[in-house]
Each structure stands twice: as structure tokens, then as C-alpha cells.
Structure 1
Amino acid sequence: MGRGSQGAAPSANGDAPLQRKLEQFTWEQVKEKTADQKWLVIDKEVYNITNWARKHPGGSKVITHYAGQDATDAFKAFHNDLSFVKKYMKAIHIGSLAEKEQQVKPIEEDFRQLRATAEKMNLFKPSVTFFVLQLAHILLLDWASWAILYYFGTGWIAYLFSMAAITTVEGQVGWLQHDFGHLSVFRSSKLNHALHYFTIGLIKGASPSWWNHMHYQHHAKPNVMDKDPDVRLEALFVVGDHMPVKVAKEKKKSMPYNWQNYYFFLIGPPLLFPVYFQIMLFRYIWTRKAWMDLLMVTIFFIKFFYLFTPLLGIGGAIAYYFTFRCLESHWFTWVAQSNHIPMDIDEDQALPWLKLQLQATCNVEKSVFNDWFTGHLNFQIEHHLFPTMPRHNLYKIAPLVKSLCEKHGVPYQVKPLGTAFADIVRSLKHSGDLWASTYHAYHAEVPSS
């Protein structure tokens, strides 16, 4: 495979350098991925990300998920300041696509025009007032969760009001840290990162780096098996139409997935935050040596036990902590999974950005409550298409997105909130039954080795 020039060559007389002509490549060459050679394409230009992936601020996996593919729309979706980012791309620029390989699909061209329209409409400009109010009501409720117990005692009525306040804090700060994590609040990445550490680290007690590592992969390849961490081949659940078949054929002993729509209520929403996320975030911090994240999480726990142990005792404070984690877990799980689990889940098909996101996401109807309760992720489709767009503007671009989907025959789904929640259980039952039928048919025909 040919390699493009990576810089300027000196002239024959040693004076000013002469710029080498970069090579041209075919898609066949770009797709030739090996362990030590990974390329991708952005705006018809070819980049060698083999070594850069390890230095990539968003993590190595999120960029290598596009190795051998056109990453143009993903690149534009994740970066606010393209001119700044492109300065770092010069060193890994190795050439261009050959002219005959540069055709852009109509669906891609139309989507890029839609993004340009959104920019002209100033839909990427955040409202300072909106985000100040979001943070203010979180901080007020955070204080209230302690003040209620301090001033009114620890009777069951005060306890319930305090629990409602802190559960709301953790639910709402989850949506707000999501805004900072996606760089959708400030033009400055540093300010977004600083507030991300404050909200997810000090208020929520989680690791910002771990969230970035997981969530950006999800956005880059939503519902893509072995790339989206949210639909990995785990031991407890199978989802979609393809994963159940794959697991059934590969495993002769496994969970009774045909019962997963029942045990989901026992080990899904109740345990995701109190158990699984707690283990995974501390594992990530330790293995990645993310000491700043450890400091933020440590401060969160010191603050929590300093405030609540005198009121509830150490045992009571621990019980209080795991109770609101369990309630928060229900809130997050039902909202987050309602947009994705009932949708298509498959291997990577290198789909255009619009089709990739639409096959993996659906919306929930707009209302004042739904907007607040879901952190505007009831507009999950628009958020996935434009992850850096401030969430209060997502509803404004929705009609144009729907129109574009109709033009290209891409399904655009909007559901009532209750239907979206019920579809999680229905899809788990469908996938579980598919696993069971495949498992029994396949292993009845294939003798044990």
C-alpha cells in the first residue's frame, strides 16, 4: 500500500522547501486495515490515524471505529472549532481520494446542507440563561436535600422530601453534565471540560474521563455491536435481532434470555447505578490512572458523608446513598434505553451518518414535563445528529430533520413517553424469544464436540 508524503522536501539548492504532491488513494486502499495501519477519510482527504489514535483526546476507540470509512460527518458532529482541530491533522494527512472515488451520496450531501442551515439559524449558539437556571435549580435542590433533614429532623416525611430532592439532583445533573461533556454550552472546550468535572465529578460522584470514553463511542457508532459499549455482548441481556442469534449459536450455556423481560426489572434499572456503574467507574479510574477523576469522586464522598453522617449515622448515610442511587438508576435507565433498545442493533455497515443515527434512535413526544424529565433527550434523533447543539434548540431543527428523512425514505419515529418505556420490555421479550428459538434449534442440530 502506498504512503503519502507527510511534509515538505528541501529544494535542490537548499533554499525554500518544495511541497511534495500528496498521493491519491482508492477506497479499496483506505479499507485495507491492519493492526499497524489504520486510515480514514474526512472531506475526501486521507489520514493515517495509526499512531494518532493513542493521543486522540476523545479516546483511541472512538476514532478507530471509523478506520477504513468516511468519518466526515462524525468529525464535524463532535468538534466545535474545526479550524483549531485541523491544525493537528496536518501531520497525519497522507493524501486524497482519487477523483473517481470522490462521489458524495445524495443523502450525505443533503445532510451537510442541513447542518449548514442549522449553523445559519444560530442553532449551535447556547442560551446562557437556560444553562444558568439548570445549574441553579440543581444546586438549590442539592442544598435542600441536606437542609430538610437538618432543620426538620429525620422523620419519614422529611426523609421522603429529602430523598426526592437528592434524586432529582442526581437525575438532572446527569443531563447537565451531558451538555458540558458534549461541548454544547461554551465555545471554549476548556470551560466545558471544567464544568463537566464540576457537575459529574463533584455533584454526581462519577468519572468524567470514563463517561467520555463510553459515551463518545456510543455516539460514533450507536447500536453497532462490538463498537457501541451500550450494546456489547454482555452476560445478562441480548438485544435486537442479530445479537440473540449470534449468542445462541456461540454459547451452549448462558443466561435464560427468554426470561430477560422479567429479570430486567430486578437487575436492570435497580442495579445499573448502585452496582455496575460504581464498579466500572472505579475500575476505569484505577486502570487508566485518572487521578484527577479520583480526586473529584473522593471530594464528592467526603462532602456527602460529612454532611449526612451526623444526621443519619454512618449506616443510615450509606442506606440513604444507595437508595437515591437506585432511584436515579431507574430514572436514567428508562429514559436512556427507551430511545435505543427498541431500535435496530447490528454489525457495522458503514452507513451514512443520517441513516446510522436514525436506525438507532427514536424520539419521545415534546411536552414541558418530557423536556425536563429527559433533559431534552426526548429529541434523541436530533441530539445524535448534532451532539454539540444546545439541547434547548433541538426541537427547532426537528421539522427539517423529519423532512429530510421523508425525502430519503428513512423512518423517523416519535412515541408517547409511556409507549417508549413499554417498548423496552417488548423488545427484550422479542430478543429473548428469538434467542430461545435459535438456541434450541441450533444446539439440537449441532452435536457436542
Structure 2
Amino acid sequence: MTTIQKKAVLGQSNPIAHLTEADIEQLGIELDAIRQEVLDTRGAGDAAYIRRVIDVQRKLELGSRAVLLFSAFPPAWVLGTLGLSVSKILDNMEIGHNILHGQWDWMRDPKIHSSTWEWDMASPAEQWKHSHNELHHTYTNVIGKDNDLGYGIMRVDEDQPWTPASLAQPIFCFVNAVFFEYGIAAYDLELGAVIAKKQTKEPEFRRRAKQVLTKIRKQATKDYVVHPALSIPTGSFLPTLAANFTANVVRNLWSNSVILCGHFPEGVETFEKRSIEGETKGEWYVRQMLGSANISGSKALHIMTGNLSHQIEHHLFPDLPSNRYAEIAPKVQALFEKYDLTYCARPMPQQVASAWHKVIRLSLPNGWLATTNRKNAPQQLAVLYKMATGDRRTRRLLGRKLESEARAKAA
């Protein structure tokens, strides 16, 4: 995941080295044409789609919550928990995420509009739109600008220095996945940076923190107080409480996995800050193409991922209706082939495995995993121990040796 700008220096293949400036700008023109075609054909069918999905989600949630009133009976608990999990995923992915992107603002329906929609997540819509729509989608995969890369808690590139704390990265990633909605809320608040700069008493931060706490209180009251309390007459208070917690964890694990698949597997490129200075529209498009990955699968999978299974198309055209991504995906893939670029798409199990492999690989010093095998594992563990307990100079010297051995092995 070395930044594209350093690949040539390290003797690695640069995926865009063969493109001229004219090629890149022509590619941008062709992508603009695909986007305009969708804009020109949006209509009643698209509006009917999102209204239908919202209707199904609401009925599924109400039905599941009704079943959970009798969740003391195991079959009711399983059925209700499954239904509630699916409804929360739909609310988060295909509905909330895409409405807040403004994908349906053209309908001019005040009930389905990015300025009025609120979702079943800990993060207030207003704050999420700033960190996601304005920052992430502007600076996709730019190291030091796109905080979605690792959410500020993970090492996401070989060029970032390795520290002993990096060893805990897989644990951080898993805990963040389980409680993903709260991690996103803290991320939207820029909580880590605010604490580091001792700005927790500033009025603007306090205002935003109050918004988050109010939202969390409302969500917790609904899921962990009101709904379980309604189940008391059937002796289902604790089962209903457990069902709501389970549904939230399932939704968090699913949405985290989808995000990892779209941004972090092998084959996804990262970029340096200097690369976006004076960036043209065509260059921005190329960055979205190479900084994203798709998940191949069924129509049901696409809906359950909020069509972020078409992450490449979403990064290229974040404001187009999500139901149209499958339609334009073949056209986008054809452009990848025309300009000799790699269209990164795999089934979900492969993408999840690839992303987690990278999480683990980058938790270790550069080259350590590549140079370790069964025979030399004891020696390699000794090297890792020395790096974890040694000073910066020790880490630097041993790290250089590992990288040199890894390059030699690759050659």
C-alpha cells in the first residue's frame, strides 16, 4: 500500500505511469458523460425504488420489534433479532448513507432529503456529512488528509512509521468494528485530535459533543429501555435487551466489513498530499478509481451493502442514485480496461480476508511477515521483540534490515 508517488522510487510498478496528461483528461471526459447520462434519466422509477426500500425497512423493523415482545421464546428471539439486524443494516447502508449523500435530493421530497434525514446511528447526520461527504470524498486515500484511512487508530501505509503500539492494531480494528457506530461518532468529533490539542473546553467542540451525547441517549433509550420495557408483560425484558444489542453489533460488524472491503484490501492505492496540489478533474477521477475496491455478488448483497459493493462507482459519482451503480458498473469497468487500469473487484469473503491481512501485515514492521516462515519463526520473533522493546535507533536499524531482506526475497 505504498503511496503511488513512491512506487517508481522503490522499483515497484506504478499503475498510471503509462497514462499521459491527455489520457487522464480524456478519461475524465468519458466519466463525465456516464454521470450525465444517469442525471438525464433519473425519474419516477428511481423515486419509487427508494420509497419502496424505506417502506420495507420500516415494516421490517416494526414487525421485528413486535415479534421480540415475545422473545422469551427462542424462535421468536431468533426471528426478531434477524429481522431487526437486517432493518438496521438497511437503515444505515442503502437508506441513510445514500440519502445523506444527497442522492435523492433531486426528488424535492422534504421527507427524503439530505438536509432533513436522521438515521439510526450514534453519529448525528450533520457531523457525519462533514467528515464523510466533504472530507473523505474530497481527499480519498490521501495519507494525512483522508482520516477514513484507519480512522486515526491504525497504521495504513508502509511509509507511516511503525511503533510498538502498532502491534495492537488488529485488536483496535476488531473493537472498532464491534462498536463501529460509536467509533464513527468519535471520529466525526475528531475526538483524538481535540484531546491531543487540549481543546475539549472550546464552545464549538462542546456544542458538537452535546449533539453526539443527545443522539446516543435517544438511541440507547429506544433500544435498551423503551423496547425492553414493553416486553416485561411477556417476561421478555432481558431477551429483548439482548436482541437489540445483538442487532446493533451485527449492523456494526457488517457496515465495518463493507467499509474495509471498499477502502483497504490489497490492490487499493494510497496517495501523498503533494499529489493533489493543482489536481485536475481527470486526476481526481483517477484517484477515485485506484483508491477503491468493489465487492462482487448478488443483487441482495448490493442492496445490503447500500450498493457500496460498487465502491468504485460510488467514489466516482457519490451523488448518483445508488440503484444506478449496477447499471453503470460495466461502463466504468470498460474504461478501466481501455486505459489499462486494474478494476479491483472480488467476492466479499476474499475482500474481507484481504483487508484483514493488510491490517495484520501493517501492524508488524515492514518486511517482517514477508520474511518469516516456520523455520525462522523463533529468530523472527526475537527480532520483533527487540524492535518492540528497543529505542528508535534499534527499531530503525532492524527495520531497514527487514525491508532489505524482503526486497531481496521479492526479487
Q: Distance in 2 between matches of 1:321 and 1:281?
A: 24
Change (3 A) 1:156 1:239: same
* Shift of residue 344, structure 1, vs aligned partner: 2.0
| Contact persistence 2:122–2:185 (CA under 8 A) | no
- The aligned runs of 1:275-424 (5 Å cut-off) are 275-277=182-184, 279=186, 287=205, 289-290=207-208, 299-304=218-223, 305-311=225-231, 319-342=242-265, 343-348=268-273, 349-350=275-276, 352-424=283-355
Partner of 1:254: 165
1:164 maps to a residue whose letter is L
Q: Which has the higher contact order (CA 8 A, sep 6+)?
A: 2
2:24 maps to a residue whose letter is I
Q: Distance in 2 between matches of 1:131 and 1:399?
A: 23
State the Cα deviation string for residues 110-159 of structure 1 (Å, max 9, x = none): 32343234323546625111101110111011101221023x35222212
Partner of 1:16: none
Partner of 1:26: none
| Contact persistence 1:124–1:389 (CA under 8 A) | no
Change (3 A) 1:168 1:233: closer
Change (3 A) 1:123 1:361: farther
Q: Distance in 1 between matches of 2:150 and 2:122?
A: 25
Partner of 1:222: 140
State the Cα deviation string for residues 10-50 of structure 1 (Å, max 9, x = none): xxxxxxxxxxxxxxxxxxxxxxxxxxxxxxxxxxxxxxxxx
Partner of 2:49: 130
| Contact persistence 1:185–1:192 (CA under 8 A) | no
Partner of 1:186: 105
SS in 1 for 2:62: helix
Gaps of at least 5 residues in structure 1 are: 1-102
SS in 2 for 1:422: helix
| Contact persistence 1:362–1:414 (CA under 8 A) | yes
SS in 1 for 2:263: coil
Which of residues 68, 73, 98 in structure 2 aligns to 1:155? Answer: 73
Q: Distance in 2 between matches of 1:197 and 1:118?
A: 25
Q: Are 1:271 and 2:179 matched, yes or no?
A: yes
1:119 maps to a residue whose letter is Q
Change (3 A) 1:193 1:372: closer
Q: Are 1:207 and 2:124 matched, yes or no?
A: yes
SS in 2 for 1:230: coil
* Shift of residue 414, structure 1, vs aligned partner: 1.6
Q: Distance in 2 between matches of 1:415 and 1:385?
A: 19
Percent identity among equivalent residues?
19
* Shift of residue 422, structure 1, vs aligned partner: 1.3
Partner of 1:106: 23
State the Cα deviation string for residues 73-131 of structure 1 (Å, max 9, x = none): xxxxxxxxxxxxxxxxxxxxxxxxxxxxxx97431243234323432354662511110
Q: Distance in 1 between matches of 2:244 and 2:359?
A: 30
2:394 maps to a residue whose letter is A
Q: Distance in 1 between matches of 2:362 and 2:321?
A: 35
| Contact persistence 2:118–2:124 (CA under 8 A) | no
How many residue pairs were aligned? 331
| Contact persistence 2:99–2:112 (CA under 8 A) | yes
- The aligned runs of 1:40-59 (5 Å cut-off) are none
* Shift of residue 446, structure 1, vs aligned partner: 5.7
Change (3 A) 1:134 1:196: farther
Partner of 2:407: none
SS in 2 for 1:424: helix
2:77 maps to a residue whose letter is Y
Partner of 2:408: none
* Shift of residue 183, structure 1, vs aligned partner: 0.8
Give the structure-1-normalised TM-score: 0.64
Task: Quote the RMSD (CA, aligned, Å).
Answer: 3.5
Once the two structures are overlaid, the 10-residue window that deviates more, 369-378 or 318-327, is 318-327
* Shift of residue 337, structure 1, vs aligned partner: 0.6
SS in 1 for 2:165: coil
* Shift of residue 241, structure 1, vs aligned partner: 2.9
Change (3 A) 1:183 1:374: same
SS in 2 for 1:364: strand
Partner of 2:364: 433
